[in-house]
Amino acid sequence: MTAPVIGVLALQGDVREHVGALAGAGADARPIRRPGELDAVDGLVIPGGESTTISKLVDIFEMREPIDKRIAAGMPVYGSCAGMIMLATEVLDGRPDQRGFAGIEMTVRRNAFGRQVDSFEASVEIAGVQGAAFHAVFIRAPWVERVGPGVEVLGRVTDRPVGDRIVAVRQGNLLATSFHPELTGDLRLHRYFVDLVRAA
Ligand code: GLN
Q: What is the pLDDT of residue 146?
A: 98
Q: What is the pLDDT of residue 119?
A: 87
Ligand 1 touching residue 83 (CB < 6 A)? no
Q: How many CA atoms lie within 13 A of 78 on its CB side?
A: 27
What's the mean pLDDT when you consider all of the chain? 95
Q: Check: CB of residue 104 under 8 Å from CB of residue 83.
A: no
Q: What is the pLDDT of residue 42?
A: 98
Confidence of residue 162 (pLDDT cuts 50, 70, 90): confident
Ligand 1 atom closest to the Cα of residue 81 is: 8
Average pLDDT over residues 178-185: 95
Domains of the chain: 5-199 (3.40.50.880)
Ligand 1 atom closest to the Cα of residue 110 is: 4
Q: What is the pTM of this model?
A: 0.96
Q: What is the pLDDT of residue 14?
A: 96
Q: What is the pLDDT of residues 88-123, one digit of tens each?
A: 999 999 999 999 999 999 999 999 987 656 788 999
DSSP string, the chain: -PPPEEEEE-SSSSHHHHHHHHHHTT-EEEEE-SHHHHHT-SEEEE-SS-HHHHHHHHHHTT-HHHHHHHHHTT--EEEETHHHHHHEEEEES--TT------EEEEEETTTT-STTSEEEEEE--TT--SSPEEEEEES--EEEEE-TTPEEEEEE-SSTT-SEEEEEEETTEEEESS-GGGTT--HHHHHHHHHHHH-
Rounded CA gap, 140 and 18, in Å?
18
Q: What is the pLDDT of residue 159?
A: 78
Ligand 1 touching residue 110 (CB < 6 A)? yes
Percent of residues, the chain, with pLDDT higher than 90: 92
115-120: which pairs have CB atoms within 8 A and are 24 or more residues apart? 117/160, 117/161, 117/162, 120/160
Least confident of 57-71, 110-124, 157-171: 110-124
Pick 122 or 162 by higher pLDDT: 122
Q: What is the pLDDT of residue 2?
A: 87
Q: What is the pLDDT of residues 20-58, one digit of tens each?
A: 999 999 999 999 999 999 999 999 999 999 999 999 999
Q: What is the pLDDT of residue 173?
A: 98
Average pLDDT over residues 64-79: 98
Which of 85, 86, 115 should be mutated for ligand 1, with most atoms under 8 A from CB? 85
Q: CA distances (Å), 187 to each of 2, 18, 28, 91, in order?
A: 19, 10, 15, 28
In Å, how far from its chain's centre is CA 198? 18
Q: At what angle do helices 64-72 and 51-60 cross, to 10 degrees?
A: 100
